[in-house]
Amino acid sequence: MTAHRWSALSSVRLIARSWRLRAEERAATAGRALFRLIVPLGLAGLIAALRAGMLQSPAQPVEAQHVAQVYAVAELGKLLDPLGATAAPLAWLQIGGYTAVTDAFARHATGTAAVRESILFASACCALLVWLFARRMSLSRWTAAAAVGMVALSPLAISMQTAVRPENVAMPWALAGLGLLWTHNRHRSLAPDLWATAFLVIAVITAPVTLALVPTGAWLIWRRRRKRLSLMVASLFTLGVGIGLGTTSVLNGVYLTGDGPVPAHWVGMDPVLAATAVFAACGALFSYRLRPLAVGVLTLIMTALIPGGPGTAALTVVPPLAALLIAGTVELGITHRERVGRHQLVRPFLVPTAALAVTVAAFAIPAWASPVGATERPDIAPAAAAATWLRVNLPEARILTDDSTWVELVLDGRPITATTRPDECVDTCLAQSWLLLTPALRQEIDVRPGLASAVDHSKVVAVFGSGETRVEVRGRP
């Protein structure tokens, strides 16, 4: 029999060994977590790569005001006054913070491309969150990858997720909040619910149209059958949204009306995703697991169809959630089992679901094969030539132009006091200013009577370019 003697060093060795074992266990856990994230991080990188070609694509009309406000936040440290009809101060602050930290305006040829870089980052975050959301829903890794693939390749998702819109900034917050609320545990720590509430509050303040996702969050809380938790989360959410939207309304009011093309325009870009999303949402209403998400998607679709409502804004939120819903519905249709007799299990929906999925993929893949807008490049030569002419001939004169060109002129070194946006200019200002009539400013003539009058009473001094990209310098006769 061997005797083991205990000494003072034995306790030290034991403590050191336990610390080493715990450190190795934590390192192994972190390594496994990192390995699991390789696929979603790769898919997020794929989304960023596919959308990188859209940074230099022609600006959408709704982006101009957002680009000007973000530039003011990042470079001037203030919001422009007035805020405009599509005010989104919290979205501008978030994008402005990103562009200021990354020095985006110094790295890109145009202000629109610099601001779109932050939207590109938000799209990559959405891809990662879609994967994590799918896993929280107990969907397989293949299903999660399919959902991210739909978001990456859909022309509708690409067109909407590359535009400078508040909804694209709010979407990562909404996905994070709903993902934290999605749990199978009735009793768990309070922290995830509090974080989820905070994320949803930020999403709603950033883009009020995400209020359409409140039924989904409420359903997820309600089905856990915890009355006190439901009341507490509802109270905190109402308080946070009330304070946030109240502050925004004091600044410039809360606007829920739509901007941009009508929903039919966007649906025409990707009818396969639109039809499949509606079909999957209606089918998912019969699934206990997917029903809350189906309610949210259908609420957004109905909100988009309201005449005069937030059509484009509501549809911007739909693609990531619709991709999750479609992929989840296909998986449940394939794996669902029912008992026949006492011992036999069958999959009654396997064949029809697989056949329908293959048919949809056969129509979608050719339509999604060509990148949307990747080859489109705006002709910036006329605007650049006009800016050079103004710098030489009218260095101190007040120039009125659209919001995007206002950013380019200020980036080119023109004094802010000598450059004016349409929202800042009243009728007397219009009569006293030179006009830099760009394609974007021409689109505003029909909705701005004062601008139309100023154009009619001015004369052309210089013209750059031709056709739709023509830029004119107009002065008083």
Q: Do residues 218 and 234 make contact, with C-beta atoms less than 8 angstroms apart? A: yes
Token pair belonging to 304: 């988009």
Q: Do residues 368 and 362 make contact, with C-beta atoms less than 8 angstroms apart? A: no
Radius of gyration in angstroms for the set of CA atoms belonging to the chain, rounded to a whole number = 27
State the Cα–Cα distance between residues 42 and 312, nearest whole angstrom: 29
pLDDT recorded at residue 4: 55
Q: Which residue ranges in the chain fall short of pLDDT 50?
A: 1, 374-375
Token pair belonging to 140: 């397989």
Q: For tokens 């709903």, name the residue.
A: 178
In one letter, which amino acid is 450?
G
The predicted-structure confidence for 364-404, as pLDDT tens digits, reads as follows: 888 777 655 544 566 677 888 888 888 888 888 888 888 88
State the Cα–Cα distance between residues 134 and 327, nearest whole angstrom: 9
Q: Which positions ≥6 away from 442 have C-beta within 8 Å? A: none
pTM: 0.84
pLDDT recorded at residue 374: 46
Task: Find the farthest-apart pair of alpha carbons in the chain and give their distance in angstroms, rounded.
Answer: 114
pLDDT recorded at residue 173: 94
Q: For tokens 């669902």, name the residue.
A: 336
